[in-house]
Amino acid sequence: MAAWGMFTRGSAIYEKSLGVNLNLTWGLLMFVFGLVMFLVGRRVRWQDDPVTPRPWERERKSRH
């Protein structure tokens, strides 16, 4: 969306959105949000894994 917004800067298609290039602004905003989520997700990777035991479960298992 952001790329499409870059290519269509100043285009007549934005008359609909009151002159606002929604593709560029919203596309960039979503990209930044996605990037933050991706980085946070990588930092706590175990949370993405639905099967691997949680850290505290691993500790419990290793104690037994």
Partner 1 sequence: MTLGFVDWLIMLVYFVFVLGIGFALKRYMRTSHDFFLAGRSIPAWVCGLAFISANLGAQEVIGMGASGAKYGIITSHFYWIGAIPAMVFVGVFMMPFYYGSKARSVPEFLRMRFDEKTRAINAFSFAIMTVFSSGISMYAMALLIQTLGLFDKLMPPQYIFHVSVILSAVIVLGYIFLGGLTSAIYNEVLQFFLIVAGFAPLVWIGLRNVGGWHGIQQKLPATMTHSWRGMAHANTNSLGVEWVGLTMGLGFVLSFGYWCTDFLVVQRAMAADSEESARRVPLIAAIPKMFFPFLVILPGLIAVTVTSNMGKDLPVTATSATIAARGQVVAPKHFLGLIPEKVNPLNGEAIVDDKGKPVYNYDLAIPVMLLHYFPTGILGLGLTALLASFMSGMAGNVTAFNTVWTYDIYQSYINKRGTDAHYLWMGRMATIGGVVLSIGAAYAATRFNNIMDALQLIFSLVNAPLFATFLLGMFWKRTTGHGAFTGLLAGTFAALLHHGLTLPMGETPGLHGAWISHVHTYPSDMAQNFWTAIFAFSVNLLVTIAVSLVTRPRPESELVGLVYSLTPKPVEGHLAWYEKPSSLAIAVLVMLVALNLVFR
Q: Name the residue nearer to partner 1 (CB basis): 13 or 35.
A: 13
Q: Which residues, including other chains, have CB under 8 Å from residue 30's CB and lie 6 or more apart?
A: 1, 2
Which residues are at the interface with partner 1 (CB under 8 A)?
Answer: 1, 4-5, 8, 11, 13-14, 16-18, 20, 22-23, 26-27, 30, 47, 49-51, 54
The CA-atom distances, in angstroms, between 15 and each of 1, 2, 30, 32 are 17, 18, 22, 26
Least separation, in Å, of the C-beta of 61 and partner 1? 15
Least separation, in Å, of the C-beta of 48 and partner 1? 9
